Amino acid sequence: MTTGVIGKPLPRVDGRAKVSGSARYAADFNQPGQVYAVIVSATVGLGRVTDIDSTAIEVMPGIIAVITHRNAPRLAYDEHKSYIDPAVGERLHVLQDDRVRFYGQPVAIVVADTLDRAERAAAALNIAYEAERPIVDPLERNVEPIVPEAATREGSWVHADSSRGDPDGALASAPAKLDEAYDIARENHNPMEPHATVAAWAGDRLTLWSKSQFVVNEQAEIAAIFGIPVANVQVICPFIGGAFGTSLRTWPHVTLAAMAARQVGRAVKLVLTRKQMFFTTGHRPRTLQRVALGAAPDGKLVSLIHEGSGETSRYEEFIEALTNASGYMYSCPNVRTEYRLRPLDIGTPNHMRGPGEASGIFALECAMDELAYALAIDPVELRRRNEPAIDEAENKPFSSRSLMKCYDVGSDRFGWANRTYEPRSMRDGRLLIGMGVASASYPAYQAPASARVRLRADGSAEVEVAASDMGPGTYTSMTQVAAEMLGLTLEQVHFRLGRSDYPPAPSHGGSWTMASVGSAIRAACLAVKTEAARRAVVDERSPVFGVAHEEVEWVDGRARRRGDAAPGPSYGELVTIAGAPIEAEASSGRDPEIAKRYSMHAFGAVFAEVAVDPDVGTIRVRRAVGAYGIGRVVNPRLARSQCTGGMIGGIGMALMERTVLDPRDGRPVNAHMADYLVPVNLDIPMLEAHFVEEVDPHVNPLGVKGLGEIALVGMAPAIANAVFHATGKRVRTLPIRIEDVLSV
Amino acid sequence: MTDREHIAGSSHPLPPSAISRRTVLQLAGGSASFAVIPGVSAQPAPAPGDPGKVLQRVRLIVNGEARELELDPRQSLLDLLRETLDLTGTKKGCNQGACGACTVLLNGRRVVSCLTLAAMHDGAEIVTIEGLAEGEELHPLQSAFIEHEGLQCGFCTPGQIMSGVACIAEGHAGSPEEIQFWMSGNICRCGAYPGIVAAMAEAAGAG
């Protein structure tokens, strides 16, 4: 049954709540009798807490508790590891010992009756440390790269090493070659909403109103940390004020909020300060990479070597797919990738929008542009000459791949033909103009998910999944899927998410929410229709009475015998007869056979134009066009907005974002929204996002590949390549700064 | 107000956030004495007789409703709204005056409420996102934000809209470029800027 709701550019169903201030985010759930907890963060980057003198602050007005490692309860910290946690290592156990592992680690919490009093007391708490000098720079001497253990395991999605052919030999004998190094700065997610948790205990049951992209994992993890049954923890998070990966894991502040609430016997609100958002809640790791390309004079790749390393903490091995795309992006007989980690005295990094691919493809695509110039070939043409027929790393066909179509559409919309090839050949007055291009890619994942659908007497349907919506429009797109599957209007579907007692969903990240949750909702809608048909065929008053339920079809929410014209009972009428809502729950996941047979990825081509002031080195992106093959687009209007938003994130990565650590103590020196630069309104040029027609019958029943990550991925290399075209200068570090191009 | 005139008349316009930074530097005016109504929600005003307390009596008109409060003079207008009055539509994004998520109207001007001490504004009229609609009818800029996809996660949205209402009233929404300039004190990390500009342009044109 198709009503055409999927694919319609509908406005978001949660728009009204968000423009009127009634959408409630974690810190908005004020509780009766609530008190306030403030974290005290370590001011040394490595060492031990030797003394904490809280006598002065304990007598300050309104102070209820000062909790440190000395008086904190010993928590169970039972074994818990989800796929979102590093497979190797153990999470930070908070306030369980005197060790300081990185700058900003929580060393105490102060609880008071008002926020101002808690903040004041927290700032006045006297802590003495025995400090050592941390190592926070991966380029410092003695930082030895290690092989990430998890990436050597069978079936891992990240490969420590991979190779085909003889890449080193082929590189040595290649007619054209380049061998370059890339350095991408640490970035912090910095969503507008700080991490926040309101915790309230009732006996041994805990409710957490908490910012989370993965409520069922937060539930399970907190239960494990406190050693209580999973069912005793409820996590509620109907809205997320942006996250980009930072709320995938459950960070120490959630534990601290729950600990404080139990300690003081009242509901506790704990919100991280913006500064604390740079300490304990993950970051895109700084990466160091080497890409070597060898090619024939016609541009055909003969060798591709991609080595990279990412920083991680001393206590966990965070891995991401830094080098994966180099295996399948282009056709090349001789390829080697190597991925390593550099443990430092920092908090564990975490996935940030386009994790792995955003950094790895930057290096690959900058190298491809450089190769194009080494061979005097148009950069788009170079990609065409290296377009593979299959995924040569996995030696299997793509379920669909529209990269060349993306280049067609993108080139056309951008006006690539008007570009002159030579660097420094285009000007607008005194400004140097550059146009650059890059490929983008991100895997089309799908994870197991479940959904519940309940048909009600008024003809409406309730749909429940423990999914999340950090902004892309999960509420809207899932409502569309359910409406289409059930033949109902959008108004008749009430979609709910963000509660851990709903049927479980995977983490809201990795661009797999539509594929995973959407497929589960589709399955649950089919199940509830089957259940409704079973009821209809045993009802004597029904026109389909006595018909085999498989013979019942649903048209616009009404049952009829297949082929009949007369409409039968509606869902609402069946529910009325049944006397209770008709409900079904179903799960879905990817057929493992499909994954064995096909390589599944989204692809895109990104074009950017920059203007560089030759006198002062300022770089502005003037316009950008992205064309993407992402399978079916459920809501083009929201998808376009999500996509241009990702492109803006890529502008930040290319030109602004960088968390700077003081090498003396590991302190992030720009932990402030005015100093950690992100794009503001005036930075943003005309942006276009196009989705090429792509039908993928394999990837999942909805045919969707996901969009959130790939939207960011190609932007930074397109900009870097445009900067080269404008200035003639290759910049292989991110962000590209004024001083990088000043000498032009 | 003098700040606004100063900015409007300057040949080098300051970004919107500069207004509130200046405001913070002003000295608190005298405050009249009013009967105290206890706070309505989670964070009560400190109890009388609390040792070490320094309270200040302040009368505010919030979304048209007169409120008489006894406040910790350190309390920001933002924390007053969110924690004492349970008006959680206004968001705390950075508490440093650098992101604009907490923007409200104070006597018709946009200010970042995180850098505005509530006790300094006795008698002031405050409008928050909750006070913008007329009953069920959204303000035209609220509707335009939905219509033009001026939001994704929605967290910066209350600040964007309050800032936008003032921006239009200031006469700073005459072109997309002008909107971009005068709305750059409000960060949107999702990157809904093109939609925000389109929504502002429509609402400004309609107004």
Average of per-residue pLDDT across A476-491: 96
pLDDT at B39 over 50: no
Determine the pLDDT at residue B44.
56
Instruction: Name the CA radius of gyration of chain B, rounded.
Output: 17
Q: Which of A120, A192, A240 sits opposite B156 (nearest CB)?
A: A192
**Distance (Å) from the C-alpha of residue B5 to the closest C-alpha of chain A?**
23
Chain A contacts of B175, Cβ < 8 Å?
none
Instruction: Name the CA radius of gyration of chain A, rounded.
Output: 27
User: What are B133's two structure tokens?
Assistant: 């609609």
Chain A contacts of B142, Cβ < 8 Å?
19-20
In terms of Cα–Cα distance, which of A622, A642, A660, A610 is closest to A709?
A: A642
User: What are A253's two structure tokens?
Assistant: 């502040």
Q: For residue B206, name the pLDDT band (cuts at 50, 70, 90).
A: low
In a mutagenesis test of the B interface, which of A681, A682, A688, A712 is the best target, namely the one with the most B β-carbons within 10 Å?
A681
**Tens-place pLDDT, residues B41-61:** 556 555 544 555 678 999 999
Q: Which of A346-360, A449-463, A530-544, A631-645 has the lowest mean pLDDT?
A: A530-544
Determine the pLDDT at residue B42.
57
**Distance (Å) from the C-alpha of residue B6 to the closest C-alpha of chain A?**
22
Measured between CA atoms, the residue of chain A closest to residue B45 is: A114
A673:B187 CB<8 A: yes
A470:B72 CB<8 A: no
CB atoms within 10 A of CB A576: 15
Measured between CA atoms, the residue of chain A closest to residue B86 is: A30
* CA-to-CA dists, residue B143 to A182, A261, B147, B185, angstroms: 45, 40, 6, 22
pLDDT at B32 over 60: no
Measured between CA atoms, the residue of chain B closest to residue A685 is: B194
A467 Rama sector, left if φ>0, alpha if ψ -120 to 50, beta otherwise? beta
pLDDT at A270 over 70: yes
Determine the pLDDT at residue B1.
35
pLDDT at B15 over 70: no
In terms of Cα–Cα distance, which of A66, A69, A70 is closest to A101?
A: A69
- Residue A484 annotated among the catalytic residues of the structure: no
Measured between CA atoms, the residue of chain A closest to residue B131 is: A20
Determine the pLDDT at residue A252.
98
Average of per-residue pLDDT across A541-549: 86
* CA-to-CA dists, residue A362 to A56, A139, A341, A438, B35, angstroms: 52, 20, 18, 8, 63
Chain A contacts of B145, Cβ < 8 Å?
15, 19
Determine the pLDDT at residue B37.
39
Chain A contacts of B147, Cβ < 8 Å?
11
CATH code that applies to domain A149-186+283-445+596-741: 3.30.365.10
3-state helix, strand, coil in chain A (%, to 5): 30, 25, 45
In terms of Cα–Cα distance, which of A274, A358, A276, A275 is closest to A310?
A: A358
Chain B contacts of A239, Cβ < 8 Å?
153-155
Q: Which of B83, B154, B192 sits opposite A115 (nearest CB)?
A: B83
In a mutagenesis test of the B interface, which of A10, A14, A20 is the best target, namely the one with the most B β-carbons within 10 Å?
A20
Rounded Cα–Cα distance for residues A163 and A664 (Å): 39
Determine the pLDDT at residue A554.
87
Chain A contacts of B185, Cβ < 8 Å?
680
Q: For residue A540, name the pLDDT band (cuts at 50, 70, 90).
A: confident
Determine the pLDDT at residue A564.
84
Q: For residue B8, name the pLDDT band (cuts at 50, 70, 90).
A: very low
Average of per-residue pLDDT across A249-267: 98
| Top-confidence range, A551-560, B2-11, B65-74 | B65-74
For domain A31-132+192-242+247-278, which CATH number applies: 3.30.43.10, 3.30.365.10, 3.30.2310.20, 3.30.300.90?
3.30.365.10
Count residue pairs from A and B with Cβ separation < 8 A.
Answer: 200
- Phi/psi of residue A134, nearest 5 degrees: -80, 155
CB atoms within 10 A of CB A439: 27
Average of per-residue pLDDT across A265-291: 98
Residue whose pair of structure tokens reads 């009600």 in the numeric block = A456
**Distance (Å) from the C-alpha of residue A303 to the closest C-alpha of chain B?**
38
CATH superfamily of B133-207: [2Fe-2S]-binding domain (1.10.150.120)
Rounded Cα–Cα distance for residues A566 and A389 (Å): 50
Measured between CA atoms, the residue of chain B closest to residue A473 is: B152
Q: Which residues in chain B are classed under CATH 1.10.150.120? A: 133-207
Q: For residue B22, name the pLDDT band (cuts at 50, 70, 90).
A: very low
Chain A contacts of B154, Cβ < 8 Å?
14, 17-19, 23, 239, 241, 471
Q: Where are the domains of chain A?
A: 15-21+447-589, 31-132+192-242+247-278, 149-186+283-445+596-741
Q: Which of A15, A60, A115 sits opposite B146 (nearest CB)?
A: A15
Beta pairing class for A619-629 and A686-691: parallel
Measured between CA atoms, the residue of chain A closest to residue B94 is: A274
Q: For residue B34, name the pLDDT band (cuts at 50, 70, 90).
A: very low
Q: Which residues in chain B are classed under CATH 3.10.20.30? A: 1-131
pLDDT at B109 over 70: yes
Determine the pLDDT at residue A578.
84
**Distance (Å) from the C-alpha of residue B22 to the closest C-alpha of chain A?**
17
Q: For residue B141, name the pLDDT band (cuts at 50, 70, 90).
A: very high
**Tens-place pLDDT, residues A375-416:** 999 999 999 999 999 999 999 999 999 999 999 999 999 999
In the set A187, A317, A320, A709, the catalytic residue is A709
A471:B153 CB<8 A: yes
Average of per-residue pLDDT across A235-245: 98
**Tens-place pLDDT, residues A413-447:** 999 999 999 999 999 999 999 999 999 999 999 99
Q: For residue A542, name the pLDDT band (cuts at 50, 70, 90).
A: confident
Average of per-residue pLDDT across A308-329: 98
pLDDT > 70: percent of chain A: 99
Chain A contacts of B92, Cβ < 8 Å?
27, 194, 271
- Beta strand extents in A98-175 (DSSP E only): 99-100, 106-112, 126-131, 161-164
Rounded Cα–Cα distance for residues A447 and A470 (Å): 18
pTM: 0.94
**Tens-place pLDDT, residues A43-85:** 999 999 999 999 999 999 999 999 999 999 999 999 999 999 9
Average of per-residue pLDDT across B186-207: 93
**Tens-place pLDDT, residues A98-107:** 999 999 999 9
B152:A681 CB<8 A: no
**Tens-place pLDDT, residues A576-597:** 988 889 999 999 999 999 999 9
Determine the pLDDT at residue A558.
87
B42:A34 CB<8 A: yes
Determine the pLDDT at residue B43.
62
Question: Quick check: A643 and A705 in contact, CB under 8 A?
Answer: no
Rounded Cα–Cα distance for residues B177 and A624 (Å): 17
Coil, strand or helix: which one is A103?
coil
* CA dihedral for A222, A225, A230, A231, sign (positive or negative): negative
B155:A242 CB<8 A: yes
The separation between CA B92 and the C-alpha centre of its own chain, rounded to angstroms, equals 11
Q: For residue B207, name the pLDDT band (cuts at 50, 70, 90).
A: very low
Burial readout A190-216 (b: 16 or more C-beta within 10 A, e: otherwise): bbbbbbbbbbbbeeeebbbbbbbbbbb
B191:A684 CB<8 A: yes
pLDDT at A708 over 50: yes
**Distance (Å) from the C-alpha of residue A731 to the closest C-alpha of chain B?**
25
Chain A contacts of B194, Cβ < 8 Å?
644, 684, 687
Q: Which of A115, A191, A194 sits opposite B79 (nearest CB)?
A: A115
CATH superfamily of B1-131: Beta-grasp domain (3.10.20.30)
pLDDT at B20 over 80: no
Instruction: Kindly indicate whether the domain formed by A15-21+447-589 is annotated with CATH number 1.10.3720.10.
Output: no
B52:A60 CB<8 A: yes
